[in-house]
Amino acid sequence: MWDIFLIYGWIGIDIKWIMKKELRKIPGLGFGSAKVGHIFLDRSNARAALESINQARKILVNGTSVVVFPEGTRSKTGKMGAFKRGAFKMATDFNLPILPVTVNGTHKIMRSGTFNLMPGSASLTIHKPILPKQFKDMDMDELANWVRETIGKKVEA
């Protein structure tokens, strides 16, 4: 969750998050996120998930970028998990560039399951955008692997 604050501080563009619906239940975070227009995704309901994607489409038309963590959950160890295909499907369907971002160290500052902050440092690497023309002939798995490799090159062990 600390990743969110790190990205807000450095990315410098208008963004909205697609976040799992369970985060809506966190006091302050859920209410505030809903008020500013972030999108909650019900990963257990395909119809509700499609509605979230339609919400994202409306935001994108207005020039706001949508941020997705393709792993779908926080890393407890700092190692990357498998990427889900939804973000890449949205990029290909809507003909959107992808801006890979590597975040390091946040799993040590705010451990999973707690809101306690620990001393530490975090870093953010903003990679070159991947333009739609670069992935127009790729399938979802190829695109996900490319982005995962790009991000993974900067993940600290």
Task: Return per-residue pLDDT of the chain as tens, 157 residues.
Answer: 557 777 877 777 888 989 889 989 988 889 999 999 999 999 888 898 888 888 888 888 788 888 888 887 777 777 788 898 888 988 999 999 999 998 887 777 777 677 777 788 888 899 999 999 999 999 999 999 999 999 999 887 5
CB–CB of 85/144 below 8 Å?
Answer: yes
Instruction: Give me the pLDDT at residue 45, please.
Output: 87
* Confidence at residue 147, expressed as pLDDT on a 0 to 100 scale: 96
Check residue 1 and give its pLDDT: 56
Q: What is the pLDDT of residue 60?
A: 85
Per-domain boundaries in the chain: 2-152
Q: Which fold has domain 2-152?
A: Glycerol-3-phosphate (1)-acyltransferase (3.40.1130)
Q: Give which of 88, 59, 49, 93 is closest to 71, Cα–Cα.
A: 88
| CA–CA separation, 16 and 125 (whole Å) | 19
Cβ-proximal residues to 88 (8 Å cutoff; 6+ apart), any chain: 70, 98, 140, 143, 144, 147
As beta bridge partners, residue 18 has 39
Backbone angles phi, psi at 9, to 5 degrees: -70, -20
